[in-house]
Amino acid sequence: MFRVARPTAGRKPMSATVSAPTTTEFGYNSKIEGEVVHTTVDAALNWFRKNSLWPMPMGLACCGIELMAVGASRFDISRFGSEVMRFSPRQSDVMIVAGTVTYKMALAVRRIYEQMTEPKWVIAMGACASTGGMYRSYAVLQGVDQILPVDVYVAGCPPRPEALLDALIKLQGKVGREPFTKEWKKDAAPKKYGSLGMELGERGEVLPS
Amino acid sequence: MPTTLELASQLRDQFPDLISAPAEFRGEVTLVVADAERIAEVCGFAKAKLGFDMLLDLSSVDNYGDDPRWTVVYELYGLGSNVHVRLKTNISEEKSELPTVCGVWRTADWHEREIFDMMGIRFAGHPDLRRILMWDGYPYFPLRKDFPLAGKPSVMPESAFSRSAPMDGGPFITSTSIEGATLREPRSRNPEN
């Protein structure tokens, strides 16, 4: 509890020399404001984070239409604090890769991901974004996890809007468990692709695994 | 209004040495142009004098193993006469080039770019012959018969890369002639496996 020396309120001091300073409680007053919740910094900050995950909508195919349905009134992603679709990667927290990622688009997707500020997460929405889906062909990246660290995969072709909401809830659970104050202490090397065994060539290209 | 065969015959009468007799199959008329070098001339006449004012489609065929290897197919349509005529012409693999018809129908621009992108056939005199679907610098022509379905790895620094797709015993093909819904499901029917 903080205590601060302060003249007693409402009584004028007789003179400067005889005024008797009293102390006033200057902090949490449980009689006025109710109970106290104790928590950790991790849990509090994660709670802030997970309830306002702003998506970067990466609508590349028909899954993008379902993503729009998720944002509209019937399914209403704003119930989970993620209604603010940001078309600027610098303002978004979670990239929702919704649709077929072609090789022509692949490095553009990765560049947009790199422009997002930390912390950032990725949801691979639908069969194409997760594995290439039915496009077993020369033109389609066989899963966006070849270039991005994906947190949640959503099955479906396209997934129901409820499935994406479920993925968002699962991601919120994951964000809520992240021990990121521990990561402050580390000299954290960028964890971009290391966990995936991805390596980049001298010119920034993705090397075949 | 002139019929399809009448218009096709008029086109042939203008170029009697160049164009084959009209072949009709299921109500569609096809003419074969013997010399691909003169295709723009034939198309120009068809549009100016016979009223074929619309190019419905422009596509290409890979007769892999045969010579000439390429067939380019022009689908002509007259909005006034409601007549549809198909022109075909062949080009050898060594040449792989024929004149553009962009000067006749402007819509041929992107069609010819697509053929160039997918098959590698060049169109002489095209105003802007770049790839249209794949990225600049992609080294292959993916619709050729000798290009694998899974694709080939390639690297174009800072713009794109590609890898071979895992086929896992595929391609998986549905056979509609088989009795029973379970057996009709897509299965690996690759003769190489």
Q: What is the pLDDT along chain B (193 residues), one digit of tens a residue?
A: 888 888 999 999 999 888 998 899 998 999 999 999 999 999 999 999 999 999 999 999 999 999 899 999 999 999 999 999 999 999 999 999 999 999 999 999 999 999 999 999 999 999 999 999 999 889 999 999 999 888 899 888 777 888 888 887 777 788 788 888 888 887 777 665 5
Q: Does B142 touch chain A (CB under 8 A)?
A: yes
**Between A25 and B185, residue with greater pLDDT:** B185
The label of the residue with tokens 């080294």 reads B139
What sign for the dihedral angle of Cα B104, B109, B110, B115? positive
Confirm if A154 and A124 have CB atoms less than 8 A apart.
yes
Q: Shortest CB distance from A137 goes to which of B134, B140, B149?
A: B149
A149, A193 contact by CB (below 8 A): yes
Q: Does the structure show a pLDDT above 70 at A187?
A: no
B138: amino acid identity, one letter: Y
**Total CB pairs under 8 A between chain A and B:** 59
ipTM for the complex shown: 0.80
- Which phi and psi (to 5°) does residue B154 adopt? -155, 160
What beta strand segments (E) does A74-187 contain? 94-98, 121-125, 152-154
Write down the mean pLDDT value for chain A.
80
User: Is the CB of residue A104 less than 8 Å from the CB of residue B160?
Assistant: yes
Looking at residue B76, its pLDDT comes to 94
B167 inside 8 A of chain A by CB: yes
Q: Hey, where are the domains in chain A?
A: 3-27, 52-177
Q: What is the pLDDT of residue A186?
A: 54
Q: Which of A105, A111, A136, A198 to mutate to test binding with chain B, by most B CBs within 10 Å of its CB? A: A136
> With contacts defined as CB-CB under 8 Å, which chain B residues touch A140?
165
Cα three-residue angle B33-B36-B39, rounded to 5 degrees: 70
The CATH code that applies to domain A52-177 is 3.40.50.12280
The pTM for the full model equals: 0.76
What is the predicted pLDDT for the residue at A1?
A: 45
The CATH number of domain B4-142, selected from 3.30.990.10, 3.40.250.10, 3.30.1490.20, 3.30.460.80:
3.30.460.80
Tell me if residue A148 falls in helix, strand or coil.
coil
